[in-house]
């Protein structure tokens, strides 16, 4: 309880204006702010005069106080470093290939790319078990890849082929994988949050009612800054805190909801503050730094697993591309984009790995080439896969196909062989 009461004690302060040290379009949120939600660290640093412009925060963790002051020892092992690097490179290469394929006409509709936000996906999802759940939005390709859905299956789904993870019936915005615990893939913003709350509820129900005492599964819900003004978000913050559900709410605050700037849309833009209002810890973290994200994620996920309830984590991140491939992206300032491009999470991790001698340049290059092969293989697989057959149109509407009812002859429609061939009247 000490952790979030520390946040509740924060005195109100005027809505922060943009930081004076940077260009007007770059928000006030400091680039290296970091908050620890470890229960033992409750001291509040209400220090400097600059606190009027910066959010007040609890004492930062000893490990990553400041990016430039890294201690001599790396915080992760070589294996973990390479795993994180590979995952982020996979995400980036996959999305770049999606863009190419879209412009070639192999993919269609709405495609929302994740370039620049890889640190959030990798930072959180690589800490989860296979049976844990991830709920995403329409910007879900990289969440799927991080969770373990094969690149082939995702690419084939985007091409609309029968071998896709949803048999070609879902598309870019509806990537589901029951096997990997990826619950979509939702087109409406905010739609995934109650579903994630339900998945977390199931974990608690299984433990308490179905008596599966070892069920400690956690759900991580990803959504954006625009969603944080939506009613469902608040409804679920309330219920998750009320019933202490094992869920982590992760805000990927990339500052833009299509063309609506977060600062224009939100009365109080500091999203992490909304956590304590509902009785859970609210944390803000630099979402361009995978190690910081991973540190916060570990705490939040473990807190949920222990049964202590939900957390709200706001990751300040950025999408290098437009909202979708159809978005001309005219409203965002070039300087803002340059600022975040210079903080590319993949390059940052690469620098960290080389500086701490966790791997050599050539080993990293080998990983990049391996990923290139994986992506090429995925494209070839998707290209050569067949389109769904005509008979698939009527499949999977119901789990029980008798739901199509009785035909005029009094027999169930689904028993008519012409039904599955796609020639029967619907």
Q: Is 310 in the site for other proteins (CB under 8 A)?
A: no
Tell me how far, at minimum, the Cβ of 406 lies from other proteins, in Å.
5
Stretch that binds other proteins, among 19-27, 117-125, 343-351, 402-410 (CB under 8 A): 402-410
Interface pick for other proteins out of 201, 222, 249, 381 (rule CB under 8 A): 201
Q: Is 387 in the site for other proteins (CB under 8 A)?
A: no
Stretch that binds other proteins, among 96-104, 158-166, 300-308, 314-322 (CB under 8 A): 158-166
Stretch that binds other proteins, among 89-97, 287-295, 372-380, 409-417 (CB under 8 A): 409-417
Residue 106 burial (CB < 10 Å; 0-12/13-18/19+)?
Answer: middle
Q: Is 183 in the site for other proteins (CB under 8 A)?
A: yes
Distance CA 30, CA 341 (A): 16
Q: Is 407 in the site for other proteins (CB under 8 A)?
A: yes
Site string for other proteins, 232-251 (x = CB under 8 A): x--xx-xx--x---------
Number of residues that bind other proteins (CB under 8 A): 57
Closest alpha carbon to 247 in 189, 179, 194: 194
Q: Is 408 in the site for other proteins (CB under 8 A)?
A: yes
Strand partners of residue 284: 314
Tell me how far, at minimum, the Cβ of 299 lies from other proteins, in Å.
24
Interface pick for other proteins out of 87, 95, 132, 191 (rule CB under 8 A): 191
Interface pick for other proteins out of 41, 174, 305, 356 (rule CB under 8 A): 174
Stretch that binds other proteins, among 1-9, 112-120, 173-181, 250-258 (CB under 8 A): 173-181
Q: Is 178 in the site for other proteins (CB under 8 A)?
A: yes
Stretch that binds other proteins, among 105-113, 181-189, 257-265, 322-330 (CB under 8 A): 181-189
Interface pick for other proteins out of 44, 80, 99, 187 (rule CB under 8 A): 187
Residue 268 burial (CB < 10 Å; 0-12/13-18/19+)?
Answer: exposed
Interface pick for other proteins out of 2, 17, 210, 331 (rule CB under 8 A): 210
Tell me how far, at minimum, the Cβ of 156 lies from other proteins, in Å.
11
Stretch that binds other proteins, among 33-41, 64-72, 107-115, 188-196 (CB under 8 A): 188-196
Interface pick for other proteins out of 196, 218, 375, 379 (rule CB under 8 A): 196
Torsion over CA: 82, 85, 91, 96 (sign): negative
Closest alpha carbon to 240 in 182, 209, 272, 194: 194
Q: Is 167 in the site for other proteins (CB under 8 A)?
A: yes
Tell me how far, at minimum, the Cβ of 95 lies from other proteins, in Å.
21
Interface pick for other proteins out of 91, 164, 275, 282 (rule CB under 8 A): 164
SS (H, E, C) the chain: CHHHHHHHCCCCCCCCCCCCCCCCCCCCCCCCCECCCCCCCCCEECCCHHHHCCCCEECCCCCCCCHHHCCCCCCCCHHHHHHHHHHHHHHHHHHHHHHHHHHCCCCCCCCCCCCCCHHHHHHHHCCCCCCCEEECCCCCHHHHHHHCCCHHHHHHHHHCCCCCCCCCCCCCCCCEECCCCEECCCCCCCCHHHHHHHHHHHHHHHHHCCCCCCCCCCEEEEEECHHHHCHHHHHHHHHHHHCCCCEEEEEEECCEECCEEHHHHCCCCCHHHHHHHHCCCEEEEECCCHHHHHHHHHHHHHHHHCCCCCEEEEEECCCCCCCCCCCCCCCCCHHHHHHHHCCCHHHHHHHHHHHCCCCCHHHHHHHHHHHHHHHHHHHHHHHHCCCCCHHHHHCCCCCCHHHHCECCCCCEHHHCHHHHHCCCCC
The residues in 102-141 that bind other proteins, with binding defined as CB under 8 A, are 135
Q: Is 402 in the site for other proteins (CB under 8 A)?
A: yes
Tell me how far, at minimum, the Cβ of 234 lies from other proteins, in Å.
8
Interface pick for other proteins out of 7, 138, 176, 381 (rule CB under 8 A): 176
Q: Is 61 in the site for other proteins (CB under 8 A)?
A: no
Interface pick for other proteins out of 19, 31, 32, 169 (rule CB under 8 A): 169
Interface pick for other proteins out of 160, 185, 246, 269 (rule CB under 8 A): 185
Cα Rg of the chain, angstroms: 23
Residues that bind other proteins (CB under 8 A): 135, 164-171, 174, 176-178, 183-188, 191, 193-202, 205, 208-210, 231-232, 235-236, 238-239, 242, 395-400, 402-410, 412
């Amino acid at each position: 309880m000490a952790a979030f009461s520390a946040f509740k004690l924060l005195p109100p302060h005027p809505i922060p204006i943009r930081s004076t040290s940077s260009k007007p379009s770059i928000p006030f949120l400091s680039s290296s702010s970091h908050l620890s939600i470890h229960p033992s660290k409750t001291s509040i640093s209400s220090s400097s005069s600059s606190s009027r412009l910066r959010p007040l925060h609890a004492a930062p963790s000893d490990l990553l106080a400041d990016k430039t002051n890294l201690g001599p020892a790396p915080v992760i092992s070589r294996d973990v470093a390479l795993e994180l690097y590979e995952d982020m490179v996979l995400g980036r290469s996959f999305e770049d290939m999606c863009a190419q394929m879209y412009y070639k006409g192999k993919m269609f509709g709405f495609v929302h790319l994740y370039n620049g936000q890889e640190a959030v996906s990798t930072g959180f999802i690589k800490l989860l078990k296979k049976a844990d759940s991830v709920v995403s939005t329409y910007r879900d390709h990289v969440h799927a890849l991080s969770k373990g859905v094969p690149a082939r299956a995702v690419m084939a789904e985007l091409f609309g082929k029968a071998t896709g993870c949803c048999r070609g019936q879902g598309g870019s915005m509806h990537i589901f994988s029951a096997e990997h615990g990826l619950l979509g893939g939702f087109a409406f913003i905010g739609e995934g949050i109650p579903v994630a709350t339900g998945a977390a509820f199931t974990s608690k129900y299984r433990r308490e009612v179905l008596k599966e005492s070892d069920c400690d599964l956690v759900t991580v819900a990803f959504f954006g800054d625009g969603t944080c003004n939506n009613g469902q978000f608040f409804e679920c913050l309330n219920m998750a805190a009320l019933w202490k559900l094992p869920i982590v709410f992760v805000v990927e605050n990339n500052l833009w909801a299509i063309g609506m700037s977060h600062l224009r849309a939100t009365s109080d833009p500091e999203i992490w503050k909304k956590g304590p209002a509902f009785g859970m810890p609210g944390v803000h973290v630099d979402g361009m730094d995978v190690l910081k994200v991973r540190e916060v994620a570990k705490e939040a996920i473990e807190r949920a697993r222990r049964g202590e309830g939900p957390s709200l984590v706001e990751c300040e991140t950025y999408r290098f591309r437009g909202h979708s491939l159809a978005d001309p992206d005219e409203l965002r300032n070039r300087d803002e984009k340059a600022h975040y491009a210079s903080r590319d999470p993949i390059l940052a991790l690469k620098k960290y790995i080389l500086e701490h001698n966790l791997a050599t340049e050539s080993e990293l290059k080998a990983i990049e080439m391996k990923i290139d092969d994986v992506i090429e293989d995925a494209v070839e697989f998707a290209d050569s896969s067949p389109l769904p057959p005509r008979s698939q149109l009527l499949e999977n509407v119901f789990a029980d196909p008798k739901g199509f009812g009785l035909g005029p002859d009094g027999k169930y429609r689904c028993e008519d062989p012409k039904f599955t061939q796609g020639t029967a009247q619907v």
